[in-house]
Structure 1
Amino acid sequence: MSTYDVARMRGDADTVFAAAVHAVDAEQCVKSFVALSGDTLSIDDQEYDLGNFDRVMAIGAGKATPRMAVALESVLGDRITTGLINTKYEHTEPLSHIETVECGHPVPDQSGVEGTNRILGLLDEADERTLVICLLSGGGSAILPAPVDGISLEDKQETTRLLLSCGANIVELNAVRKHLSRVKGGGLARSAFPATVVALMLSDVIGDPLDVIASGPTVPDTSTYKTCAEIFSKYDLTDALPTSVAERLRLGLAGEVADTPKPGDEALSRVQNVVVGSNGLAVAAARMKAEELGYNTIVLTTRLEGEAREIAQVYSSIGKEILSSGRPVPPPACIIAGGETTVTVAGSGKGGRNQELALAAAQQISGWAPIVIFSGGTDGTDGPTDAAGAVSDGDTISRAEAAGLSPNDFLKNNDAYHFFKPLDDLVMTGPTGTNVADVAFVMVGDA
């Protein structure tokens, strides 16, 4: 019997994933950057004398923002004058000084609009003696909706659905969101001016670009209406856009409506932006844990992107190469990657990018028993499901076929959730309180 057999590797994959998620716990990430000594609030390399402020506001949005708020309350306590955050349904945490509004994700809903309007109402009261601490995390783009005049929530929802279904990546999606919003792309900071704003960001975006995390509500925007037009053209969506969105695009291209704030805009001159956690931290922790468990490891990338099915083929090829030749590292091996894939939706099933990747990989490694492929979202929710992801191995397809499940049919219908559920191969963590995109492992045993 192999020392690193499939049963052990599947258990080890869960352990490595848990270590990755723990390393980016939103509460601890914030506490590592924020400290209070007397009246001096230290945030990264900046110090703020709270005696210079009459009010301290806490605002924000994202799936991990409630955990970030727990940390902020533990540091500032009743020094927080008022606070309001938006988060995804069922992602709340007990808070004493900061109110929480639950909202829709990944498609924005009316609750999100109402919560965002209330946040903007708080910012209307901000002045030069106000310190605004903004807590931003993955999901913030959908969870902080404030459509520009002339565009309804329904039209914004439809535009989001179009982009999600065609396989647009997060950078492209957020560029469009900024130009349909009053708060994204620096709009929130503009609303807070002349207050001092500190944004603490938990990044779920490849490379951690500040202007893309939660669509950059406190950051100058480098995208333009021309960028949006090119995105719509790339995915052949121009003629499918809601009329109001197409009209906004026309006006923007013609210079008849103002673009988002750009670098050098005075409204963003009193802002400090700090990334407190990222995918790189999660991947590093995963590697450390895998090595503790005895695996030879390689970090493939923290910038993974592309179609989930195509990435699955790459992962599978790496696993087979290790098993066949011991390259690039010999078994027992754990190849680790972080980032975020996409899915071009053609069916009507239920699933997410991690589940789709695992299903496509299962077909590729069928019969290669000592290979395990695990893919999971660090937030605990993969797409519109209650699963973080899924795990597959060389026996997954044979077990599925014995249960009367056709892998091809489920993959064609983008229905990975219902493929893996009866096999008990979904990764179920519940909401984790963090969100730094996805991590995946290719594990190869010493057969």
Structure 2
Amino acid sequence: MTILKLRQDASTIFKAGLKAVDPKVSVKSYVKRENKTLIVDKRKYDLDQFDKIYVIGGGKAGASMAAAIEELIGDHITEGFVNVKYGYTARLEKIKIHEADHPVPDDAGREGAEKIVRLAESAEERDLIICVISGGGSALLPLPVQGISLSEKQEVTKELLACGASINEINAVRKHMSRFKGGQLARFTYPATLITLILSDVIGSYLDVIASGPTVPDSSTFSDVLEILKRYKIWNKIPDTVRNHFEKGIKGNIPETPKAGESIFSKTQNVIVGSNIQAVMAGAEKAREIGYHSMILSSFVEGETKDVARVHAAVAKEILQSGNPVPAPACVVSGGETTVAIHGKGKGGRNQEFCLASSIDIAGLESVVILSGGTDGTDGPTDAAGAICDGETVERAVEKGMNASNYLCNNNSYVFFENLNDLLITGPTNTNVMDLRLVLVGT
């Protein structure tokens, strides 16, 4: 099996994973309509019992999810408003799609979040609100608490992204700077009936972590926020106003985010319609179809990107050496989401850095290809979903005057793979269920 064939197969397998988490398909697998009855994960709603029906939400998959709802009950929708990332759009009739920035929030996101809150507050007891939430929702639905500016929230977000904090930790902090997240959207919608459809982009699919859980009880506290910021040594790097806000919360001078058992959650239904494991399983199945012995490593992979890359490279070496855990031709599939502690000044993302680190460990190996890509089509602040590498990547880089280790130290994976024409470019995918990584070993 040539390196070219392995690369082509890796691309085919990755695309199969993406197809399996198409948001419209995911929504319609859990939401059905029978005449005037809406069935959401076996729970039935009589559409005629509602005076008005609103569709709200946000996330990278928001437009596609909203499109599915409009196709199902467009004749009953009164109005809708959904925040999405720039370029992640769809043409709808009843629901307004509003573009904003990610991963650092902008004014467009704040304006959209304010519009959504006004719409939610206008709902009355005999109304139905359908909320679509997907990965990216935390940044795309910024609504800072009074006294904290959007620029200050942006500053905190940048520090969190750079320090290597997990998405769970980042969202715990975000929730306690927000009027929207951590169950607080449910405060605005109550006493209307609220259905939230969720495409998960977090390990474990914890409802209060996905997009910072705007419609579910929050399990994190102000004390958790303090511990996170001090552990990553950024407590003294955040603005004074934000630090003062957190201190007031710890002392009980500011109300906590809504917790389990509160009445605002009595008329809510939260349903996860898609997650990373679906993409991982579809990738493994496609690999089997085209002739590989495939194995799912895990959809719960997290940790420092370079360390995770080394483990995946070690799996490739083991397959070559002993035929374990699966014999060649082999395809090992993993999902989840790693983190990068940024020390350099380069350009890249966790998937590109994963492949750069992997290329160093598999240098010189024949018949090994590794691909890593974000299912949302963007990796960090770049236009690439990820990258692809093989045993010849480091050698080809040397021929172009590049030292792979130096580029890795500078977190400059985008430039490295751009020069090799090995970036994984998909464009906006309108979905987001974390990452998909492939280790292919040929015969």
TM-score, normalized by length of structure 1? 0.98
Residues 202-248 of structure 1 deviation map (CA, whole Å, 9 limit, x = unaligned): 00111111111110000000000011011011101111111111001
Which of 17, 21, 37 does residue 18 from structure 2 map onto?
Answer: 21
- Offset from partner CA, 1:315-339 (integer Å, 9 cap, x none): 1111011101111111111111000
Name the CA distance, whole Å, in 2 between partners of 1:323 and 1:72.
48
User: What amino acid is aligned across from residue 65 of structure 1 in structure 2?
Assistant: G
- Corresponding position: 1:177 with 2:174: yes
Report SS of the residue matched to 1:207. Answer: helix
1:320: which partner in 2? 317
Give CA-to-partner distance per residue, 1:105-125, whole Å, 9 cap, x none.
000001000000011111121
SS in 1 for 2:54: strand
Segments of 4+ in structure 1 off by > 3 A?
Answer: none
For the pair 1:406 / 2:406, whether they are aligned, the reply is no
Q: In structure 1, give the amino acid aligned to 2:285.
A: M
- In the alignment, the residues of structure 1 paired with residue 178 and residue 111 of structure 2 have an alpha-carbon distance, to the nearest angstrom, of 14
Q: 2:299 aligns with which of 276, 294, 302?
A: 302
Number of the residue aligned with 2:113: 116
1:272 aligns with 2:269: yes
Partner residue of 2:190 out of 184, 193, 215: 193
Q: Distance in 2 between matches of 1:61 and 1:7?
A: 39
Which of these residues, 348, 372, 376, is aligned with residue 351 of structure 1?
348
Deviation at 1:415, TM superposition (A): 1.1
Offset, 1:159: 0.5
- Structure 2 distance, partners of 1:130, 1:182, is 22
Task: Using the TM superposition, give the Cα deviation of residue 265 of structure 1 relative to its aligned residue in structure 2, in angstroms.
Answer: 0.7
Q: For 2:11, give the aligned amino acid.
A: D
Mapped partners of 2:177, 2:376: distance in 1 = 26
What is the aligned counterpart of 1:234 among 228, 231, 234?
231
Pick aligned residue for 1:40 from 32, 37, 40 = 37
Q: Distance in 1 between matches of 2:249 and 2:276?
A: 34
Matching residue within 336, 339, 358 for 1:339 = 336
**Greater CA deviation, 405-414 or 167-176?**
405-414
Show the counterpart of 1:247: 244
Alignment partner, residue 285 of structure 2: 288
Separation in 2, partners of 1:185, 1:336: 32
Q: Residue 113 of structure 1 aligns to a residue in which SS?
A: helix
Distance in 2, Cα, partners of 1:164 & 1:382? 13
Corresponding residue number in structure 2 for 1:168:
165
Alpha-carbon distance in 1 for matches of 2:90, 2:384: 20
1:72 pairs with one of 69, 73, 95: 69
State how far apart, in whole Å, the 1-side matches of 2:377 and 2:137 are. 16
Q: Which amino acid aligns with 2:112?
A: G
Q: Look up the SS of the partner of 1:112 in the other structure.
A: helix
Provide the rounded CA distance (Å) in 1 between the counterparts of 2:180 and 2:43: 25
Deviates further, 399-408 or 201-210: 399-408
Cα deviation, residue 293, structure 1? 1.1
State the shift of 1:36 in Å.
Answer: 1.5
Task: Give the gaps of 5 or more residues in structure 2.
Answer: none
Counterpart AA for 1:362: S
In the aligned structure 2, how far is the partner of 1:439 from the partner of 1:182? 33
1:369 and 1:434 mapped to 2: Cα distance? 34
Deviation at 1:78, TM superposition (A): 2.6
1:61 to 58, 63, 68: 58
Once the two structures are aligned, what percentage of the paired residues are identical?
52
Q: State how 1:358-369 maps to structure 2 within 5 Å.
A: 358-369=355-366
- AA paired with 1:429? T
CA distance in structure 1 between the partners assigned to 2:155 and 2:85 by the alignment: 19
Q: 2:416 aligns with which of 411, 415, 419?
A: 419
Aligned to 1:30: 27
Q: CA deviation at 1:70?
A: 1.1
SS at match of 1:264: coil
**Alpha-carbon distance in 2 for matches of 1:160, 1:93:** 28
Q: CA deviation at 1:403?
A: 1.1
Mapping 1:99-138, distance limit 5 Å: 99-138=96-135
Return the alpha-carbon distance in structure 2 between the equivalents of residues 261 and 209 of structure 1: 16
Structure 2: how far apart are the matches of 1:201 and 1:365?
Answer: 38
2-structure distance, mates of 1:80, 1:217: 22
- How far apart, CA to CA, are the structure 1 residues paired with 2:187 and 2:315? 48
Instruction: Measure how far apart 1:35 and its partner are.
Output: 1.4
CA distance in 1, matches of 2:100, 2:406: 33
Q: TM-score, normalised to structure 2's length? A: 0.99
Amino acid of the structure 2 residue aligned with 1:323: L
Aligned length: 443
Secondary structure of residue in 2 paired with 1:217:
coil
CA distance in structure 1 between the aligned counterparts of 2:183 and 2:282, rounded to whole angstroms: 32
Give the letter for the 1:66 counterpart: A
How many Å apart are 1:7 and its aligned residue? 1.1
Matching residue's letter, 2:288: E
The residue type paired with residue 45 of structure 2 is Y
Q: Matched residues in 2 for 1:242 and 1:101: separation?
A: 29
Aligned mates of 1:373, 1:261 — CA distance in 2: 43
Report what 2:368 is aligned to: 371
The residue matched to 2:205 in structure 1 has which SS? Answer: coil
Deviation at 1:409, TM superposition (A): 2.2
